[in-house]
Amino acid sequence: MNNTQSAAHGLAVHALLDALPDEIAVLGPDGTILAVNRAWRRFAARHGAGGAEAVGAVGSNYLAACHQGSTAGQAHAGISAVLAGASERFQMEYALPTAEGERWFGMSVTPLEAGWRGALVAHTDTTERRRAEAGQRIAAIAFDSPEGMMVTDADGIILQVNASFSRITGYSSAEAVGRTPGMLSSGRHDAAFYQGMWAAIGANGRWQGEVWNRRKNGEVYPELLNIAAVRDGSGAVTHYVASLNDITLSKAASDQIKNLAFYDPLTHLPNRRMLLERLAQALPAAHSSGHHGALMIIDLDDFKTLNETLGHSTGDLLLQKVAARLHACLRQGDTVARLGGDEFVVLVEGLSAQQREAGTQCEALAGKVLAALSRPYGLGPHQCHSTPSIGITLFSGGVEQHADEVLAQADIAMYQAKQAGRNGIRFFDQSMQDSISDRVRLENELRHAIDTQQFELYYQLQVNRLHQPVGAEALIRWRQPDGSTVSPARFIPLAEETGMILQLGQWVLESACAQLRAWRSEPAMAALTLAVNVSARQFHQSDFCEQVCSAVQRYGIDPGLLKLELTEGVLLDNTDDTIASMQALRRLGVRFSLDDFGTGYSSLQYLKRLPLDQLKIDQSFVRDLVNDGNDQAIVLTIIAMARSLNLDVIAEGVETDGQCALLGQLGCQSYQGYLFSKPVPAAALARLVQQGIPGAI
């Protein structure tokens, strides 16, 4: 090769080397860099920062640069071996910290062609390749997860499945690859389901949901399916990756939880919670559609007796049969639920928009239910009869009706049906509801009245045969802030029911004792007895005797002037305890009068055992006494009975001279009523007593 040729050759080699993407250097036998290509120069300029700038420059010694660090030492040994002709090739990979973070390089050192001593060093950036390999390894491990995995191509042909896929579906990889996921289809989902799924994948690139699939052995199972579309750089779908989880167990568990929460385990009917949920949906639906709905509460008559006499398992059997018969009576969309015990509920929707017509439709259905449930039941060896009572309320969802309210209305109607003699149907009516609302309001007001002391005691005079004052009855008055008064006939029973009577009664007792104390210092009043009404709940308190005793002592009054008025109702329960309490109070000196006598059921035998002082003839016998022979006979009997028991008799509600005269003839000894005085405040009573009663002898 002549010089020109060799120069041309040198240029060609340079051009060739410069065109290569790898960084290449030619080393002389001692490691001096004889030539480098463009990639090498660019690399050295970019990464040869600081004092390392000389590294890689032509004329520098490459071996000398490879002295430090473990990989550098390894490179030095490897390159030296190639230069010395001891090795055919040296390769290594090493990491280099760069401005863009750590990068990896592969170095390959090969001897120059024969005749030339030296070596060719080639560097390649292997960072991307290594990352791709790591990614593949991670993907391989991920693919080997406990979830079933399946990769399909864009046409849905299965390319790859993992071991979990085979475990879940029963199909081996060989059986699955080449087919489509359609082989797993259970047939439980319709075309619309799959259309929705593919639409979601198209729009969002993924879909997740529960699907029913079929295993190779034919078993249908639930799985949680996740599908993701894989797209290439241009956005075209290249693959689909699906992961599937067998949720047979967790679905069974959650179904069971749902069952427990929303269904009655005995009859498998929806329970109260589920019913309230459906009702809550039915109300607005009725409102928007304009159609009426109805709620029916069905309670079995005398179920308790059957349960107790034939045993609970027979009772359960009856409930199951009732559930089945109710089901048979209803249309597809109706709901029948069991509230608990022997109470069932039927929710019917889509009745007529006309209230009257809806009522008729509903009544017809209730009649059908009544007939179905009244047929005899074969319960094991027993043949039983059972009848239901049915309460119905219609709803139209207007005026913010609440599910609880509607249920309460049906309940009220059902109780009405029961009270009307069972085996019947009753519709809820608004007036019934109003009286209940009134009651709630009254209860709140009463509570407030107790807190703010809105009560007063009035006194109604009691006179003897000569119409001379002998005592008074204390009658409570509730004066509301606006000045109006509420009758005790209205609020006393409510106070009884709610227990507020205990506080009220205590207050009355204290006030009455305080009044007796005040009368002690007024000669005209000092001998008057004071009757105090005591209600059942108050009397049956365990410390009632102590309360009375303590009040008597505190006010320093003569206990003989205090008369407790009990009603027959009080005396009927807890007979022995009642008698013991009365006797204890009697020993204290307190007296007893039996109020409203004649309206209860007291037998003579029973009355004999009680330490009573007085019978009070109820005003209902006095009212028509003059004209009603029957009432005359009753009053006569009461008086005869009192005499035989050695008791006083007083008549209440005496309004006319005629009544008073007749009572006197029949043997009555004292009177109380408007004829002598209405109940009045203490001061007015005192004036009355001091002025004298008109007609008093």
Contacts with ligand C2E, residue ranges (CB under 6 A)? 460, 474-476, 487-489, 492, 505, 508, 533-535, 565, 595-596, 619, 652-655, 673-674, 679
568 binds Mg ion (CB under 5 A): no
**CA-closest candidate to residue 25, choices 103, 121, 144:** 121
Partner interacting with residue 489 (select from Mg ion, ligand C2E, none; CB below 5-8 Å by kind): ligand C2E
**Alpha-carbon torsion 329, 334, 339, 345, what sign?**
negative
| Least distance in angstroms from the C-beta of 455 to ligand C2E | 9
> Going residue by residue from 279 to 308, which x/- string records binding to Mg ion, judged by CB under 5 A?
------------------------------
Judged by CB under 5 A, the number of residues near Mg ion is 4
Q: Which is nearer to ligand C2E, 461 or 557 (CB)?
A: 461
- Of the pair 169, 619, the CB lying nearest ligand C2E is at 619
Q: Which stretch binds Mg ion (CB under 5 A): 80-88, 358-366, 530-538, 542-550?
A: 530-538
The string of DSSP letters for 103-148 reads: EEEEEEEEEPSTT--SEEEEEEE-HHHHHHHHHHHHHHHHHTSSSE
Separation between Cα atoms, residue 257 and residue 240, nearest integer Å: 35
Q: State the minimum distance, in angstroms, from the CB of residue 598 to ligand C2E.
A: 12
If we measure between CA atoms, which residue out of 298, 355, 351 comes closest to residue 325? 298
Question: Is the distance from CB of 45 to CB of 51 less than 8 angstroms?
Answer: no
When the beta carbons of 270 and 653 are compared against Mg ion, the nearer one is: 653
Closest contact distance (angstroms) between CB of 650 and ligand C2E is 11
For Mg ion, the closer of residues 264 and 595 by Cβ is 595
SS3 418: helix
CA distance 121 to 111: 9
State the Cα–Cα distance between residues 261 and 259, nearest whole angstrom. 5
| Cβ-contact 125, 103 below 8 angstroms | yes
Choice between 322 and 492, CB closer to ligand C2E: 492
Give the span between the Cα atoms of 341 and 271, in whole angstroms: 11
For residue 120, the cross-strand partners are 26, 110
Taking CA atoms, 308 is separated from 145, 303, 340, 426, in Å, by 59, 9, 17, 28
CB of 692 to Mg ion, least distance (A): 25
Of these partners, Mg ion, ligand C2E, none, which one is at the site of residue 673 (CB under 5 to 8 Å by kind)? ligand C2E
**Minimum distance of Mg ion from residue 343's CB (angstroms):** 39
Smallest separation (angstroms) from ligand C2E to the CB of 533: 3
Distance of alpha carbon 37 from its chain centroid, rounded? 79
- State in angstroms the smallest separation of the CB of 415 from Mg ion: 29
Nearer to Mg ion, 125 or 565 (CB): 565
Question: Helix or strand or coil: residue 270?
Answer: strand
Return the number of the residue (225 or 668) whose C-beta is nearest Mg ion: 668
Partner interacting with residue 653 (select from ligand C2E, Mg ion, none; CB below 5-8 Å by kind): ligand C2E
Which listed option, Mg ion, ligand C2E, none, makes contact with residue 397 (CB within 5 to 8 Å by class)? none
Cβ at position 617, least distance to ligand C2E in Å: 11
Structure tokens at 319: 């409930």
The residues near 529 (Cβ < 8 Å, ≥ 6 apart) are 462, 470, 471, 472, 560, 561, 562, 563, 591
Residue 428 CB, shortest distance to ligand C2E, in Å, is 31
596 binds Mg ion (CB under 5 A): yes
For 239, the 3-state DSSP assignment is: strand
Residue 487: which of Mg ion, ligand C2E, none does it interact with, CB under 5 to 8 A by kind?
ligand C2E
What would the two tokens of residue 5 be?
């040729």
Site for Mg ion in 533-552 (CB under 5 A): 533
Q: State the binding partner of 264 from ligand C2E, Mg ion, none, CB within 5 to 8 A by kind.
A: none
Please, are residues 591 and 564 in contact by the beta-carbon 8 Å criterion?
yes
Min separation Cβ 410 and ligand C2E, Å: 34
- Rg of the chain taking only CA atoms, in angstroms: 51
On the 0-12 / 13-18 / 19+ scale of CB atoms within 10 A, 18 is middle
Whichever of 18 and 445 has its CB closer to ligand C2E, that residue is: 445
Select from 125, 565, 568, 631 the one that contacts Mg ion (CB under 5 A). Answer: 565
Which listed option, ligand C2E, Mg ion, none, makes contact with residue 488 (CB within 5 to 8 Å by class)? ligand C2E
Residue 595, interface with Mg ion (CB under 5 A)? yes
Residues at the site binding Mg ion, with contacts judged by CB under 5 A: 533, 565, 595-596
